[in-house]
Structure 1
């Protein structure tokens, strides 16, 4: 993921974002709001530029 390579200190990367979604989608998770607030900044989620290397790799 070029976005991760360029901003590895701030951007979480596709693997972490997918794992985050896994927990957010789980209705049994009791820390949904805490997880959402951890992702709510300009670098964690919105830095994906859809270069789609992650899709090709998967």
Structure 2
């Protein structure tokens, strides 16, 4: 197969894939998963020993 055979259909295929991904991302059942991922950087680290956040400085 070469471009002349499947080339004219590529924009249609790409548009269908785009809209399918768009619908998948905006589906309501995925909202909690994406909200959790969005809030990950804002979560506090646990207060367990050995989980201290290090800023690269050595305390004297």
TM-score, with structure 1 as normaliser: 0.29
Say which structure, 1 or 2, has more relative contact order (CA 8 Å, 6+ apart): 1
Higher helix share: 2
Give the TM-score taking structure 2 as reference length. Answer: 0.29
From the CA coordinates, give the structure whose radius of gyration is larger.
2
